[in-house]
Structure formats: C-alpha cells, structure tokens
Amino acid sequence: MRRMSRSLLAIVLAATAMPAFAQDRTERLLGELADAPGPSGFEEAVRAIMVREMKASTDQISYDGMGSVIAAHGSSGPKIMLDAHMDELGGVVRRVTPTGFLSMQMLGGWLDQALPDQRWIIIGSKGPVHAVTGIRDIHVVPTEERGKVFPRDSLYLDVGARSAADVAKLGLSAGDPVVPDAPFVALPGGRYLGKAWDDRVGCAVVLEALRRLAASGHPNRLFVAATVQEEIGLRGARTASDLIKPDIGIAIEGGITGDSPGRNLEETQAALGAGPGIFLYDSSTLPNRKMVALVRDVAAAKRIPLQTDLVQGYGDDSAAIQATAGGVPTVNLVVPARYTHAHNGIIDRADFDGMVDLVVGLIQRLDAKTVAHLRDFAPTN
C-alpha cells in the first residue's frame, strides 16, 4: 500500500474533524427510529421512543396485549385509527454450534440474496454483540456456482467465537433477536440512508401528525397506533383494532420505488422525491374507494403531489384493520423507499414532509358527516 500524501492526509483529517451538519427535529427523530433495534416480537427499543414522543402530545396512552401502543387524542366525533408498525425485518438465534457459529431463523420477508456477508447485531443478555453472516471465498467456489444464490439455511452468524462456551460468555443463546447493522446517514439533497424504513418512516409520520393535530385540533377521536409484528402476519394491527374499534383506518407504510436501474415498469411506478403515495391495490387489501377519492381531493387541495401504485407481493396493516369491528373503510398511504426489506434503504425528506401534510389534512376532513358518507354503502337508486 502506498503512503498517503501529506495534502491528502490533511484533507482526510480535516473532514473527520468537521462537525456534522446540524439536524432538525424531524431528521433526529428519523435517525433515532431507524437505528433502534426492533425485529418482530422484540420492539421494546422502538416502543420506548414512540411512548416518549406520544407523551409530548397526549397523556392518553394505552397498550394492547401484544405490546402495540395506542395514543388517543380528542373526546368526541368518529374514531379514526392512524397506524404504523414498529417492527422491522430481522432474525432470532436458532442454535449455537460447537465451534461457536450461530444459525438464525429469519423474521419477515427476506430475499436470500440480501443475507450473505452482511453485518448484524445480536441483542444478548449482556448487551449487543456484532456479527457477520459468512460467505464462501471466490477462490474456492467453482465457476459454475459463482452466480448462484446462497440459501439462508447455509448461512451462519460469526461473532468471532471459537466455541459454544465463548458464545455463552458473550451472553448469547437461542432466542436472542438479531437486527441489521446499518447506521443512519444523512445523504446530500435531503435524502436519508438507513435500515428499517419499513416502517420507521411511518412511525415518524404518525408522531409528527399527532403533534400537529394536537396543536391545531381536529373533529374526531384520533387513535394513533404503533403496532407490533406486522412483518410476520399483521398481528398487532388486529389486536389494536379490536380495542379501538375504529370507524376509519389509515395505515402509513414505507412504499416501493421503481426508479433505480434494472427495474421492470410493472413492478412499481413510484419514484423517490415525487411525493407521498397511495396504494390502489396490494396482495393483502383493496382500499375503500371513497377513501381513495377523499385522499386525492385533499392532496389536490393542498397541492401535494400524490403517486398511485398497485403492488404484488405486499401486505400491510390496513388489511387487518379493514377486517375488524364489522368492517372498516381503510386506505394505505406510503412514503416511497428504495431497497426495502434489506439492510440499507433510502427515503426522501420531501416525500416525508408531504405525507405529514397529507395525513394532517385528511384527518382534519374526517368529521362525522364525512365519515358517515365513507361508511354508507346503500345503493343510490
């Protein structure tokens, strides 16, 4: 390796000594939520952030029997459920080998090609432990196998241990949660790199919407639900809905973009930075048609660019909310995100801000008369 020149060394040292750009409140919140560990069933760290932020806007906080958080605001009017899920894709330690490697049960919809040679954090009894999923060395892989995907069952977590006893000394055992190691980074142009935008971006949206609505007022009883275990079956949304019994349901999710190279136009048409989105179809639910029309009307009135999309192979909490309390008109609104269900994703701040404006405007429109119209299915002739 060549020595670094003095001028280049000076530049590097100066850059590392520079203070980070000042963050505003929203950016700090997005970073904190993205970095928090919270795979399905292990949402404690995210829940602590959500409760802290909710308490700044309301003192009416409750929990369902699975760990979802419900913040209520308003004492009269129809019941509006605003939902985002706290859990992210991750894993759980399955077993420890005699030589100190750990096998992992994946939690949520991972692609096998997203798993090899990635860094992870295992939350053990003595605190976090860094790990990496191994990968075969190219020098020994036959040419005909180099383009193949490594199946997940062939992967093991390597924590640097030499034996099972070493693993135990680290405080690790079967059942410990595993999360991607992918720290939040603010990119140029108002874009953010990080893990778990599905659905920490939604968590930040509902918190900011609650804060603004608590200050400005609204014509309904608002229930902001931060739910658990969405990635393994929409479970928390179902139990939270059982308690709330909403008249209207609004789910906020991380969307899917199709604007990076190599994408099929039919997969998704959404683009980063082109505004918040609404799903007209996904494989778990169809939105209420009148709700879709209302969302479009609010977006147009507020001059918010609104992207529409139809996506296969996607499920969201609105499906669970929709099927409770005798049937609930619902809609799924999304903040576009690149590279979901992987270690690193990217969102655009303008899409986030537009979504908050849209949600606030929508909830302010949901008075008793409007909700009655949305829930009226009687024929008009």
Name the one residue in this structure whose structure tokens are 């969201």: 316
pTM of the model: 0.91
Which pLDDT belongs to residue 294?
98
pLDDT at 5: 47
Q: Is the pLDDT of residue 119 over 60?
A: yes
Task: Sort strands 345-348 and 191-194 into parallel, antiparallel or unpaired.
Answer: antiparallel
Q: DSSP secondary-structure letter at 143?
A: G
pLDDT by residue (tens digit) across 163-199? 999 999 999 999 999 999 999 999 999 999 999 999 9
Who wins on pLDDT, 235 or 15?
A: 235
- Given a cut of 60, whether residue 8 has pLDDT beyond it is no
Instruction: Please state, in angstroms and rounded to a whole number, the distance separating the CA atoms of residues 301 and 294.
Output: 10
Residue 17 banded pLDDT, cuts 50, 70, 90 = very low
Taking 90 as the threshold, does the pLDDT of residue 15 lie above it? no
- pLDDT tens readout for residues 123-145: 999 999 999 998 777 777 778 87
Give tens-digit pLDDT for 200-224.
999 999 999 999 999 999 999 999 9
* DSSP letters for 91-136: EEEEEE-TTSEEEEEEES---GGGSTT-EEEEEETTEEEEEEE---
pLDDT at 222: 98
CB-based contact 228:236 (threshold 8 Å): yes
pLDDT at position 312 is 84
Asked which of 69-78, 264-273, 326-335 is least confident by mean pLDDT, the reply is 264-273
Q: Does pLDDT of 277 surpass 70? A: yes
pLDDT digits (tens, 9 = 90+) for 352-377: 999 999 999 999 999 999 999 999 99
Q: Tell me the residue type at 193.
A: L
Mean pLDDT across the chain: 91
pLDDT tens by residue, 27-40: 999 999 999 999 99
Q: Is the pLDDT of residue 239 over 90?
A: yes
Of 83, 179, 167, 89, the residue nearest 126 (C-alpha): 167
Catalytic member of 27, 230, 231, 253 = 230
Residue 308 in contact with residue 360, Cβ under 8 Å? no
The C-alpha atoms of residue 213 and residue 85 are separated, in whole angstroms, by: 20
The whole-number average pLDDT for the span 61-65 is 98
- Please report which confidence band the pLDDT of residue 18 belongs to, taking 50, 70 and 90 as the band edges: very low
* CA–CA distance, 22 with 186 (Å, rounded to integer): 11
pLDDT for 2 equals 44
Non-local CB neighbours of 368 within 8 Å, separated by 6+ positions: 77, 78, 219, 220
**pLDDT value at residue 43:** 98
* Cα(66)–Cα(235) distance, integer angstroms: 8
pLDDT for 153 equals: 85
Predicted confidence band of residue 22 (pLDDT cuts 50, 70, 90):
low
**Which stretches does DSSP call E strand in 228-271?**
248-254
The SS3 assignment for 146 reads coil
- Using DSSP, state whether 248 is helix, strand or coil: strand
Residue 247 has pLDDT above 90, yes or no: yes
Catalytic residue list contains 32: no
Residue ranges of domains in the chain, CATH in brackets? 23-88+195-374 (3.40.630.10), 90-180 (2.40.30.40)
Whether the pLDDT of residue 80 is over 50: the answer is: yes
Three-state DSSP string of the chain: CCCCCHHHHHHHHHHHHCCCCCCCHHHHHHHHHHHCCCECCCCHHHHHHHHHHHHCCCCCEEECCCCCEEEEECCCCCEEEEEEECCECEEEEEEECCCCEEEEEEECCCCHHHCCCCEEEEEECCEEEEEEECCCCCCCCCHHHCCCCCCHHHCCEECCCCCHHHHHHCCCCCCCEEEECCCCEEECCCEEEECCHHHHHHHHHHHHHHHHHHHHCCCCEEEEEEECCCCCCCHHHHHHHHHHCCCEEEEEEECCCCCCCCCCCCCCCCCCCCCCEEEEEECCECCCHHHHHHHHHHHHHCCCCCEEEEECCCCCHHHHHHCCCCCCCEEEEEECCECCCCCCEEEEHHHHHHHHHHHHHHHHHCCHHHHHHHCCCCCCC
CA distance 10 to 15: 9
